[in-house]
């Protein structure tokens, strides 16, 4: 394994362990109460959920079929909360690649080593992708185990498809953070840009289904290619995955070129 990749993974180790425990605890908490939800359709069925305001239902993915295993898994794990946890983790890890060490002054020490700037960014990106993959693999195994224990009735391949989508979305967010950090050298700028893109993208995707004025923006929202394929219900939407991967590749190249051409004071 390349030196900078292994070094970055060692730096990420504690954060990844903490995020894995935290996300795992969140998934465990919500999936463990599914039996009580499914046993009370009068309280949690579609007729009860229809009483919620339309805007709230849109933001939560419609809140349809909440008492079914697939509907509950989609709403509580894969609709909003799970992806946002992964995205925040990806943003924090990506900022540790360029922007954070540049602000603290330690990046200059790294750049005095006989290593090209392009290689530095590329290997940091690889470390980010591998770190997020480890987080996704462990949490996927947990979700699959818990879904079996509480009898959600969701097939293995549908959970795998949904978790792969979470990973690709988080990797895109992390790569955008890396690109902005490589171009601007500031953590706050990277966090602000990514926060606007993904928080705004989620609102546009969910609300845009019923609001014509913003419906056209759905096509530029990352969440459109995450949610539209409905992997929990329909399996692998390979076309959407390719869009997320393509956007990630473009942003990774942008990060490499931006950092290679920028004066960082070394």
The pLDDT tens digits of the residues spanning 175-199 come to 999 999 999 888 999 999 999 999 9
User: Are the C-beta atoms of 91 and 191 separated by less than 8 Å?
Assistant: yes
Q: Give residue 262's pLDDT band: very low, low, confident or very high (50, 70, 90).
A: confident
Closest by Cα among 83, 31, 79, 30 to 57: 79
User: Are the C-beta atoms of 74 and 232 separated by less than 8 Å?
Assistant: yes
Q: Give residue 238's pLDDT band: very low, low, confident or very high (50, 70, 90).
A: very high
Cβ neighbour number for residue 140 with a 10 Å cutoff: 18
State the maximum Cα–Cα separation within the chain, in Å, rounded to a whole number: 67
pLDDT per residue as tens digits for the range 197-235: 999 999 898 888 777 788 888 899 999 999 998 999 999
80 has pLDDT over 90:
no
54 has pLDDT over 80:
no
260 has pLDDT over 90:
no
State residue 123's pLDDT score: 92
pLDDT per residue as tens digits for the range 20-46: 999 999 999 999 998 888 777 666 556
89 has pLDDT over 70:
yes
State residue 49's pLDDT score: 57
Closest by Cα among 51, 62, 47, 61 to 227: 61
Q: Rounded to the nearest 5°, which phi and psi values hold at 105?
A: 90, 0
51 has pLDDT over 60:
no
Beta strands per DSSP E along the chain? none
State residue 68's pLDDT score: 82
State residue 145's pLDDT score: 96
User: Are the C-beta atoms of 86 and 166 separated by less than 8 Å?
Assistant: yes
C-alpha 147/C-alpha 145 separation (Å) is: 5
Q: What is the CA radius of gyration of the chain?
A: 20
User: Are the C-beta atoms of 74 and 161 separated by less than 8 Å?
Assistant: no
Contacts of 58 by beta carbon, 8 Å cutoff, 6+ apart: 206, 207, 209, 210
Element holding 54 (H helix, E strand): helix 54-59
Q: Rounded to the nearest 5°, which phi and psi values hold at 33?
A: -95, 5
pLDDT per residue as tens digits for the range 56-75: 555 665 556 677 888 889 88
State residue 244's pLDDT score: 97
pLDDT per residue as tens digits for the range 103-160: 877 776 676 666 788 888 999 999 999 999 999 999 999 999 999 999 999 999 999 9
77 has pLDDT over 60:
yes
pTM, two decimal places = 0.91
């Amino acid at each position: 394994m390349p030196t900078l990749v292994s070094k970055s993974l060692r730096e990420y180790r504690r954060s990844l362990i903490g995020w894995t425990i935290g996300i795992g605890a969140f998934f465990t908490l919500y999936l463990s109460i599914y039996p009580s939800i499914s046993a009370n359709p009068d309280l949690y069925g579609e007729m009860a959920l229809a009483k919620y305001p339309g805007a709230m239902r849109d933001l939560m993915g419609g809140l349809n079929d909440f008492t079914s295993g697939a509907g509950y898994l989609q709403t509580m794990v894969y609709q909003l909360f799970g992806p946002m946890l992964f995205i925040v983790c990806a943003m924090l890890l990506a900022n540790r690649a360029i922007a954070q060490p540049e602000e603290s002054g330690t990046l200059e020490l790294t750049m005095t080593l006989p290593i090209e700037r392009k290689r530095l960014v590329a290997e940091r990106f690889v470390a980010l992708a591998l770190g997020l993959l480890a987080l996704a693999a462990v949490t996927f195994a947990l979700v699959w185990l818990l879904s079996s224990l509480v009898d959600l009735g969701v097939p293995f391949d549908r959970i795998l498809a949904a978790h792969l989508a979470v990973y690709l979305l988080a990797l895109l967010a992390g790569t955008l953070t890396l690109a902005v950090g490589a171009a601007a050298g500031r953590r706050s700028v990277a966090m602000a840009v990514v926060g606007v893109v993904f928080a705004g993208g989620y609102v546009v995707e969910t609300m845009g289904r019923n609001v014509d004025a913003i419906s056209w923006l759905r096509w530029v929202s990352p969440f459109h290619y995450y949610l539209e394929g409905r992997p929990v219900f329909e399996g692998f939407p390979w076309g959407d995955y390719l869009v997320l991967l393509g956007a990630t590749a473009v942003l990774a190249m942008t990060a490499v070129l931006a950092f290679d051409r920028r004066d960082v004071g070394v």
